[in-house]
Amino acid sequence: MTIANERVRVTVNGVIYERSVEPRLLLSDFLRHELGLTGTHVGCEHGVCGMCTILLDGRTARSCLAFAVQADGCQIRTVEGLGTVDGLHPIQEAFWEKHGLQCGYCTPAMLMTTVELIEANPSPSRDEIRDAVGGNLCRCTGYQTIVEAVELAAQRLSAAKAPSTPAAGEDGSAVGH
């Protein structure tokens, strides 16, 4: 059976890409093989392990459960859009500090899951964090350090976003009165 290719135009981490793809090409394989963005990992390829989690139009999605052709016109964010080796994103920094990873295989998915969680809920409870990261399998950490990392990331991002205090309060004199 010959199947015609389809044109796909997507924006990934702010960069526009245009390709001609087979309809059956999974979005995860499109990101990795067509665009060379291998930060998105692939585990089970049937939606169970969560390794391929990305943000598709602002929401987390399993990229192994979507076809690249379906992403035509969409905005995608992957782990490559977070930070760099020399300038880690605050979420990456928190995972590094709290040892929220060992082998690193689930880390891109954990990071993108954390992006969605904190964007919707700037100060998640530990239960809410567990619920969010529980969709991604981690076989190294036992999750405790991941929960701590997400908690720290949320605190830092909230602190960074908090409105700057008036000059008089900067030394802490106004606090607690």
Member of 12, 30, 35, 67 binding another protein (CB under 8 A) = 67
Q: How far is the CB of 162 from another protein (least distance, A)?
A: 26
Q: Which stretch binds another protein (CB under 8 A): 33-41, 63-71, 87-95, 151-159?
A: 63-71
* Rounded Cα gap, residues 137 and 141, in angstroms: 10
DSSP characters over 59-72? EEEEGGGSBGGGGT
Residue identified by tokens 């605050």 is 90
Member of 53, 78, 107, 141 binding another protein (CB under 8 A) = 53
Coil, strand or helix: which one is 8?
Answer: strand
- Which residues inside 101-160 make contact with another protein, applying CB under 8 A? 113, 116, 131-132, 134-135
Count of positions on this chain that bind another protein (CB under 8 A): 31
Among candidate residues 59, 68, 61, the one with its CA nearest the CA of residue 33: 68
Q: At what angle do helices 144-161 and 107-120 cross, to 10 degrees?
A: 40
Distance of CA 159 to the CA centre of its chain: 20
- Binding mask 9-28 toward another protein (x if CB under 8 A, else -) reads -------------xxx-x--
Member of 37, 69, 101, 152 binding another protein (CB under 8 A) = 69
Q: How far is CA 78 from CA 34, 148, 165, in A?
A: 14, 22, 34
Q: How far is the CB of 132 from another protein (least distance, A)?
A: 6
Q: Which stretch binds another protein (CB under 8 A): 61-69, 96-104, 155-163, 165-173?
A: 61-69
Among candidate residues 27, 123, 102, the one with its CA nearest the CA of residue 66: 27
**Interacting residues toward another protein by CB under 8 A:** 1, 3, 6, 22-24, 26, 29, 45-48, 50, 53, 56, 59-62, 64-67, 69-70, 113, 116, 131-132, 134-135
